[in-house]
Chains A and B, each alone.
Chain A
Amino acid sequence: MSDTITLWIDKQPITAIKGETILEAALRNGIEIPNLCYNKKVSHTASCRLCIVNIAGRPGAIPACTTPAEEGMTITCFSPALEKVRRTTLDLALSNHNDDCISCVKDASCQLQDLAFRYNLGFKDRQFPPIWEELNKTSDFSSQVLNYDASKCIQCKRCIKACSELQGKGVLTFVNRGIRTTVGTGYAEWKDSKCDGCGECAQICPVGAITVKQFYGPRTRIRQKDIERVVRTTCPYCGVGCQLDVATRRCFSEGVGSKDLMIQVTGADVVPNYGRTCVKGRFGLDFVTRPDRLKRPMIRKEGKLVEVEWPEAISYTAHRLSEIRAKHGPAAIAGLSSARCTNEENYLFQKFIRSSIGSPHIDHCARLCHASTVAGLAITLGSGAMTNSIAELEHASVILVTGSNTTETHPVIATYIKRAVLHHKAKLIVVDPREIDLCRFATLWLRQRNGTDIAWINGMVQAIIENGWENKAFIASHTENFDATREVMKKYDAKTVEHLTGIPAAQLVKAAKLFAQAKTASIVYSMGITQHAHGTDNVKAISNLALVAGQIGRESTGVNPLRGQNNVQGACDMGALPNVFPGYQKVDDATAHDKFATAWHNKHLPEKVGMTVTEIMGAAHDGTVKALYIMGENPMISDPDITHVKASLAHLECLIVQDIFLTETAELADVVLPASSFAEKTGTYTNTERRILPLARIVDPPGDARADWEIVQSLAQALGHAWNYDDTNDILREINALVPQYAGITPERLAAGERLQWPCPSVTHPGTRFLHKDGAFSRGKGLFSAVDHIAAKEQPCAEYPFVLNTGRMLYHYHTCSMTRRTEALPRYVKDAYMEMCKADCDALGVAHGEIVRVSSRRGAINIPVKLTEIVAVGSVFIPFHFAEAAANVLTNTAIDPTAKIPELKVCAVKIEKL
C-alpha cells in the first residue's frame, strides 16, 4: 500500500503523505498558503482563518490546516475571492495589532509583517482603523526572562499550546473574552505564576508579543537581523544534552576590544530536544563572559595566589608533581577528573594520571551521583547506562519515576514524560517522598519513607510474583538466579512493606499490576535511588523489578538512570574511574592492561584499582595522598561533610585546580590553571542516553585561558611525555581505536551530522537506540539479586528528630559556580532555603523566611525556612547548591560498600529556632 496520495491544488497535481493536512502538503510542495496560527509542532487551532481554501464538492471556505489531505481532492487556494477574504482578515488582524515595527525586536522575523507586506497592507492601504490603541489591553513585563506585549498579540494560541503541549506545563491561557482576550497566567502578574521561564512561548510566537529579555552581549535589544553567525552546540548544563543554536555578533567591549560575543540562544530542532530547552539552557549561558572568569594561571607565593605566565605555571606544576612522585611514589598523587569536561579531556586526564604520573587514583564526581548505577547495573545487566533513548519515553505505556525530580533536574526529559501522559495516555507512577511536580500527572503517587526503597521495590516484585503477573517466558530464557531471589522476596508482602515504607498495600499492588501488565514500561530513576549507603542494592532491586516483569530490552521499555551532568556518562565511559580504563576495561585485567600499555607506550601503568573520591579525601587527610590535581570540580561544596574536605585539602602538599572560575576549591589551591568553557572549545559530550554530541567553538576564551585538553597535554609534555595532539579530533581517533563502544563514532561521522548512541562498534554501525535487545543482555543473562532492605545509616532520634533530604533545583546547577554568575537565574532563586511543611513550622514556631539553625552530628548551618506542601511531616529538604548554607556540611559520609557512594539523601538533623 502506497503511503502517498495525489491531490490537485490550483490545477497542479501535488503529492501528499498520508495523514498530512492540506496545508502541510501544500507548504512542503512550495505552495505558500498564508498562515499565522499554524505551527507544525502543536495541534492546529484554525483561528487565523488565513489558510482557507475551497474544496470541490464541499461548501464554503475551509481551513487547510485542519483538513486532512485526501486522494483526488481538487482544491482552490488562490482565487481572487479567497485572496480578497484573506486580505480583509489580515486587515482586521492588523487593526488589532500594534505594528510599531520600527522598534520591535521581531522586525524582519515577524510572520504578520511578512503577510502585511505580501498583501500590500501598508497604513494607507487598510480599511480598518487601529483599534488596539483604544482597547488598552494589559501587557505583562514582570516575568524574569520574558516580555508580553498585549498590543502585539494576535491571539493565535501558539504560545499557550507550546506551553501545554510541548512543555507539558500549561502555565499560559487566554484570559478575558472577545476582543479583549489576552494571554495570561491566571495570576495578577506573570512573575507570580508557575512559569519557570523556559521560553518555549517566545520561541513559537509568530509576532513580537512574547519576546525574551536580553541577557547576552552588550546591547539591550537584538533583532534577528543583528545576528551575524549561528553556531550549533551542546548545552553545558544537565545530562539531556540539548542542542542549542547560539547566535553571535562582533561587539566591542572595554578592555577586550572587538570580539565575537554570544547574543541569543534558541533550542535547535534536532535530537534530543527538538527545539525545547529549559531556563538554564536558554537564559543561563552568560557566565561565559563574566569578568571574573579566570584569565591567567596563578601560583601561590607567600600565601597568596599570584598571576604568572603559562610557561612558569606549567613548569612549576610539573616540577612539584615530579618532586612529590620522586619522594613519595606515584600513588601519592591523585586526580579528580570532571563530568563537566569533554570526552576527549576526560580521556587525556585519566591517561595523564595513569600513564604520565603512574598513579591509579583517578575518579570524578560520578562517585557522588551514579557510581551505584554503574556498579549495580554492570552486575545485573552488563551495562550501567540508560537502556533507552530519551524520546522513547514519550511512547511508553507505563512510566515509573522514582528518586528523580525530573522537572527540575532534567527539565526537557520531563517534557517527554508529561507528553506521554497528556498525548499518549501513558500511566505515570511516581514513587518519591516529596510531592514533586510530576505527581500532578501521576496515576499513582506512592510516598515512601526516605531510604526505604529496597522494601517497596521488593514489595512490587513480590506482588508481581504472588499474583502471577511475572513474565515467565522472559525469566526462563533470559535471566538467572530467579529462584534464590524469589525466596528472599517472600518476606516482602504488601502489608509488611506498608509497615516499612508507609506506602498503602493496595496502592503498591496496583502499581505492581500496572507496571507488570504494561505493553511497554520504563523505569526512570536518579539520585533518590543511588545516593544511599545501600545505593548499589537499590539499583539491583530496580533491575529485579524490570527483569521479573520482562520490561526491558524493547523500545520504550527498560531501566533508565538519568545522568546528572552534561558529560557524566562520557567521563565514566572515558575511564575517569579508579577501576576501569576507557570503555569499562578493568585495570586489573591483564588483557586490558596490556592493550593500554601498548597503546600508550608505557609498560608501567598501575595494575591495581585506585581510590575513589571519598577515599582520596580520607587519604589526603591522613597524608598518604600528597598532591591532588582537580580538573573542573568543586568538592568544597559537592562532597559530603565539607568540614572534613577542607581539612583534607589543607593537608595536601600541592593542590592543583583547573577551572573557569575561582571556585571555593580553587581558593585553597597552590596552582590555579584557567580553563575554557564549553563555548570556547571543541570536543564531544555523551548525554544520558549514550549519544555523542559535539561542541563547537563559538567565542574565544578570555585572556590566556586554554582548553582543558591543551593544559593537560602541556603538563604531560613538561613531564617528558611525547604527546602530540593537534586537536580534539586527534584524541577522538585514539578513543575510537581503544574504546570498543566508541569505535564507530569518528570525527568524520560527527562532522557529517550523525549523532550516534554507543555501543557503535564500527564505522558502518548505526548506533544503538536501546540496549539488551530481545533479552540479549550485555552480560549474557539478566541477573536477579536477592537484595534485602537495610535501613538508612542514620535514623531520626530524640536529639536529631528530622530526616534531611538533599537535591537539586531547576534554577541552579551543582555548586552554582556557573548559575550564580548569570544574570537571569538568581532572579528566580538567589539564596539557599530549607523546605519544611506547615505542621513542622507551627510546631517549631517558625515562619516562612525565618532563619533557623540546622545541625547534624557533623556540622551546622543557618538557613531560611521555605514553607511548602511538598515535603512530608518530619522531613526537610535543602538544595545542595549554595556555599553559604551548604547542605553537605550536614550530610553523612557513610558509604556504599560496593560503589563507595555517600549517603547524601538521608541524614538526621535537628532544627532550632534562633
Chain B
Amino acid sequence: MACSGCGCKERVNLLEVYPEKRRALDEYIDQLPLCEDMERQKGFLIGCLHKAQEIFGYLPLEVQECVGKRLRLQQSDIYGVISFYSFFTDQPVGKYKINVCTGTACFVRGADKILDGFKSALGLEDGQSSADLKFTLSTIRCVGACSLAPVVMVNDRVYGNVTPKMVSAIIKDCE
C-alpha cells in the first residue's frame, strides 16, 4: 500500500507503522464472543471491518488479512464484503471525508448543485482524494436525515439544509 503520510510511492505496512492502532483492533476482536463454528464466525466480519476502517481510515490488504486471520476467514470472504458495500474502501482516504447525500430527498432539494460546489472548490471528482490526503469527496445514498435535505456529512458530523453558499464554510470548518 502506498505511503499515506508523505505521498511517496514506498509501500508501508500500516500494522507495523501504527502498532497502537493494531492493538486497538486486536482489543476489539478480543472482546468478541468468537466461536469454533466457522460459519458463525462470518457474522463478526462486518463489525470488525467497520472497526478497522474507523481505526485505520481505510482497509489496506494487510489490515484485511489481519482481520481474516483473527476470524479464520479467507481473503476472499473479506474482499467480497468490502467490494460489495460502498461504505468500505481499500484505498487511502482523506482526513476529512466529505459525503454529499444524493438520495432521493436530497437530490430533489438540489444535492447535485452542492456536489458541483464541492467539486469546484476542492478540484476533485466524485470518489477522489486530494494529493495531500486531506479531503475525500464522495456521494452516499441517504443518511436517514431527509427532513434536513440536502445533507452533507463530514466524517461523523452532519450538515443539514445545505446551500451552495455553505460549501466554502463547511470546508473551512474542517480546518
Contacts and interface: CB of A to CB of B under 8 A. Distances in A.
Nearest to A177: B84
A146 interface: no
Interface in B75-99: 75-80, 83-84
Nearest to B84: A177
A11 to B, nearest CB: 42
Contacts of B78: 186
Contact of B80 (A173, A188, A421, A440): A173
B79 A173 contact: yes
Contacts of A176: 83-84
B107 to A, nearest CB: 20
A172 B84 contact: no
Given A187-B61, A422-B38, A441-B38, A170 B84 contact: no
A171 B74 contact: yes
Nearest to A175: B83
Interface residues of B, number: 14
B38 A185 contact: no
Contacts of B74: 169-171, 173, 186, 194
A174 B38 contact: no
Contacts of B36: 427, 443
A173 B77 contact: yes
B98 to A, nearest CB: 23
B84 A186 contact: no
Interface string A436-452: 00001101000000000
A194 B83 contact: no
B129 interface: no
Contacts of B61: 187-188
B38 A184 contact: no
Contacts of B80: 173-175, 186
B38 A194 contact: no
A421 B80 CA distance: 22
Interface in B26-78: 36, 38, 61, 64, 72, 74-78
Nearest to A171: B76
A197 to B, nearest CB: 15
Contacts of B77: 170, 173, 186
A193 interface: yes
Nearest to A195: B76
Contacts of A175: 79-80, 83-84
A441 B78 CA distance: 17
Given A421-B38, A422-B38, A185 B76 contact: yes
Report which residue of B76, B78, B84 has the largest number of chain A beta carbons within 10 angstroms of its beta carbon: B76
B157 to A, nearest CB: 28
A173 B68 CA distance: 14
A515 to B, nearest CB: 15
Report which residue of A170, A188, A421, A427 has the largest number of chain B beta carbons within 10 angstroms of its beta carbon: A170
A38 B75 CA distance: 26
Chain B interface mostly: helix
A171 B74 CA distance: 7
A541 to B, nearest CB: 26
Report which residue of A170, A173, A422, A427 has the largest number of chain B beta carbons within 10 angstroms of its beta carbon: A173
B45 to A, nearest CB: 12
A706 B72 CA distance: 50
Nearest to B80: A173
A365 B75 CA distance: 39
B22 to A, nearest CB: 15
B18 to A, nearest CB: 18
A794 B103 CA distance: 71
Contacts of B76: 170-173, 184-186, 193
A188 B83 CA distance: 12
A422 B80 CA distance: 19
Nearest to A180: B83
B83 A187 contact: no
A186 B75 contact: yes
Contacts of B83: 175-177, 184
Contacts of A188: 61
A194 B75 contact: yes
Interface in A153-212: 169-177, 184-188, 193-194
A418 B65 CA distance: 21
Contacts of A170: 74, 76-77
A341 to B, nearest CB: 39
Nearest to A163: B76
Given A421-B38, A422-B38, A440 B79 contact: no
Contact of B75 (A174, A177, A187, A421): A187
Nearest to B74: A170
Contacts of B84: 174-177
A177 B87 CA distance: 13
A293 to B, nearest CB: 40
Contacts of B79: 173, 175, 184-187
A188 B2 CA distance: 14
A177 to B, nearest CB: 5
A170 B72 CA distance: 12
A161 B136 CA distance: 37
Nearest to A422: B38
B102 to A, nearest CB: 17
A409 B85 CA distance: 38
A169 B75 CA distance: 11
B41 to A, nearest CB: 11
Contacts of A173: 74, 76-77, 79-80
A193 B38 contact: no
A695 B76 CA distance: 38
A392 B61 CA distance: 38
A172 B79 CA distance: 10
B52 to A, nearest CB: 15
Interface string A396-434: 000000000000000000000000011000010000000
A270 B83 CA distance: 38
Nearest to A869: B69
B43 to A, nearest CB: 16
A193 B68 CA distance: 13
Contacts of B72: 440
A175 B38 CA distance: 21
A421 B41 CA distance: 14
Nearest to A182: B83
B73 to A, nearest CB: 8
Nearest to A169: B74
A173 B79 CA distance: 8
Contacts of A441: 38
A741 to B, nearest CB: 40
A170 B64 CA distance: 16
B49 to A, nearest CB: 13
B174 to A, nearest CB: 31
B40 to A, nearest CB: 11
A193 B64 CA distance: 13
Interface string B125-169: 000000000000000000000000000000000000000000000
B35 to A, nearest CB: 10
Contacts of A427: 36
A518 B141 CA distance: 52
A422 B38 CA distance: 8
Nearest to A187: B75
B33 to A, nearest CB: 16
A174 B78 CA distance: 11
A166 to B, nearest CB: 15
A104 B78 CA distance: 32
Interface of A: 169-177, 184-188, 193-194, 421-422, 427, 440-441, 443
Interface of B: 36, 38, 61, 64, 72, 74-80, 83-84
8 contacts: A171-B74, A176-B83, A176-B84, A186-B74, A186-B78, A188-B61, A193-B76, A422-B38
Given A175-B80, A177-B83, A184-B76, 11 more contacts: A170-B77, A171-B76, A172-B76, A173-B77, A174-B84, A176-B83, A186-B77, A188-B61, A427-B36, A440-B72, A441-B38
| 7 nearest A-B residue pairs (beta carbon) | A186-B79, A173-B80, A173-B76, A186-B75, A175-B83, A170-B74, A186-B76
